[in-house]
A = this chain, B = another copy of it.
C-alpha cells in the first residue's frame, strides 16, 4: 500500500475523490468483467465519479486499466514476489502455488487472476500486449529465482530453470482459469499438491 503524501502543495481545486479507493473499485470491475466487458458507465458508477474526472485523472480507459494493473500486482497479485523471497526454490514454488490458490479464491475478491482474464485473446492490441508482457515478465521472475537456486545448490544443475518456471507458471494460470469458473479453494490446493510432485528434488 503506497502511502500518498498527504500535504502536497496542490494548485487549484483539490481532487474530490480518493485515488486509491477509486482504483480499487475500478480493479474489481475489470477483474469481474474483463477489460472489454467493463464499460465506462460501469467504471464511473463503481468509482463514484463522473467521466470528466476519470479522464482528467487517468487519460482514458486504457490509462486507467494500466494504473489498475500496477495496483493489482502490488496488492492482490503480489503473492508472486512474496513467494520469490523464500529460502529455497522448492519453497518458492510452494509459496507461489498456494499463494495463488489464496489470491485467486478469496471470497472478498472476484475469482481468478486479473492478468489472465483481464484480456486473453489477441486483437485488443495494446491491452493484450501489455498483459502478455506482464505475464512473461512474471515467468522471468520465477526463472531467475530458479537460476539463483541452481547457483546456490538447492536445485540440480541439470534442471532447465526456464522450463521449470514455465511449468509452475502454467499451473498458476490453469488454476486461474478454474478459479474464474468457481472451483473451490480445497480443490485447487490439490492441484498445487500434484504440481509439487513434479518438482525436481
A residues sitting closer than 8 Å to B (CB atoms) are: 31-34, 36-37, 110-112, 116-124, 132, 135-136, 160, 162-164, 166-167, 169-178, 180-183, 187, 190-191, 193-198
Is the pair B194, A120 in contact by a Cβ cutoff of 8 Å? no
Please tell me which one of the listed residues B118, B169, B177 contacts residue A173 in the complex, with CB atoms under 8 A apart.
B177
In the complex, what distance in Å separates the CA atom of A13 from the CA atom of B20? 61
Docked-complex contact A181 and B135, CB < 8 angstroms:
yes
Known contacts A174-B177, A178-B173, A195-B198; is A33 also within 8 Å of B166 by CB?
no
List residues of chain B with CB within 8 A of the CB of A190: 160, 163, 166-167
Question: Can you list 10 A-B pairs with a CB-CB distance of less than 8 A?
Answer: A31-B121, A33-B121, A34-B123, A116-B120, A116-B177, A120-B177, A121-B180, A167-B190, A173-B174, A174-B175
B120 contacts A120, C-beta separation under 8 Å: yes
B residues in contact with A121, CB < 8 Å: 31-34, 37, 110, 112, 117-118, 180
Residues of B within 8 A of A32 (CB): 121-123
- The CA of A52 and the CA of B177, in the complex, are separated in Å by 35
Contact among B117, B136, B174, B197 for A181, CB-based, below 8 A: B136
